[in-house]
Amino acid sequence: MSFSYARQLRKIYPDIKLGMVVTDRNIEFAKLSNENEHIIDVIVNRKDVLRNSKKWDVLLDFLSKENTKRMIWKKILNPKITIIFGENYEGHHYNKEILKNYDFDCTPPMETHIIDYLIDSEFSKYFKIEKQKPHIELLQQDINKMEEFWNFSLENSYKKVKILLVPQGSDREMNPGEVSQLLNNISEEKMKKVKIIMGNTNGSDEYFKKLKPLVNKKLDISLSPQFDIRKYVLFMATSDIVVGVDGGGIHIATSLNKPLLSFYANNKYNLCRWSPKTTADSLQTISRTAGNHNQTYNFSLSKPIQWLNTQIEKISETK
């Protein structure tokens, strides 16, 4: 999402110098996203903010909650102007009334998607901010190198529709029974046309052990190697369809404009902020159980089953 903001800012300020503060967790993803587009001038690890103290004019803070570590690094960075976009959290001991370490509060309405935060911000008083869709620019030669992980060994097997399954997010996952029900309802004729690989993250070995016995033995399904973030993104770029739960994998898939079948908790705040933004033929499925953003179960599967079968047929015709 940060790169979408960067494109909007670059549009209204062509000569701007843009920096991005990142953590150890997301620095490699930031580098990959910037590798071919070069929209960000400086990527700063949060541990190195001391070297950037008083060098920046404006800090845009898009994170929701304040905490001690973030207060410290922002104090060290010491920009001339700080603009915040997070919620108030009145019950939190670091709320906006107590802690006024900002110059402008541009918190958007709850219904605003996170990619549109700048649309009605302080900048919009002076400029027309164009809407953005997330995307990552990758080189085809780098994508092609990841094709080998689909393990196409039999003649004509390379013509199979490649489905990347990402049923786990960082703090949520789909019920393996519901995932197997979806996959088992791929029509028998189409089962021969697909190759399914499940993304491998923390806890995936155990999850796949639960899932595999539930899946029709006629389906070609396996667990991917555990990739670093660069290889993971490039591997996803080789897929034809992405099926998964709300999380980082889904947002990467939208950036790659993949046909996407996504499963979300029935939580209004999370749906408004984080629903997929894509122009590809996609379907978002929402839990029948209202609750918090981690309750990713109890889905009606009739429309997802129909969508998946239709996509498999459509894509297989182009192989």
pLDDT digits (tens, 9 = 90+) for 188-198: 999 999 999 99
Q: Is the pLDDT of residue 5 over 70?
A: yes
Q: Is the pLDDT of residue 209 over 90?
A: yes
Whole-angstrom Cα distance, residue 247 to residue 311?
22
Give CA torsion, residues 197, 200, 206, 207, to 10 deg.
-60
Q: How many residues are recorded in the chain?
A: 319
Whose structure tokens read 């670091």? 94
Mean pLDDT over 161-167 rounds to 98
Q: Is the pLDDT of residue 298 over 70?
A: yes
Whole-angstrom Cα distance, residue 178 to residue 232?
25
What radius of gyration, in Å, describes the C-alpha atoms of the chain?
21
Percentage of the residues of the chain whose pLDDT score is greater than 70 = 94
Residues 6+ apart with CB under 8 A from 15: none
Query: With b meaning 16 or more CB within 10 Å and e meaning fewer, what string describes 102-137?
Result: beeebebeeeebbbbbbbebebeeeeebeebebbbe
The residue ranking higher by pLDDT, 279 or 104, is: 104
* 229, 28 contact by CB (below 8 A): yes
Percentage of the residues of the chain whose pLDDT score is greater than 90 = 81
Q: Is the pLDDT of residue 260 over 80?
A: yes
Give residue 121's pLDDT: 93
Q: Is the pLDDT of residue 133 over 60?
A: yes
Whole-angstrom Cα distance, residue 107 to residue 90?
14
Q: Is the pLDDT of residue 293 over 80?
A: yes
Q: What is the mean pLDDT of the chain?
A: 92
Give residue 169's pLDDT: 92
Encode pLDDT of 25-61 as tens digits.
Answer: 899 999 999 999 999 999 999 888 899 999 999 999 9
**pTM of the model as a whole:** 0.92
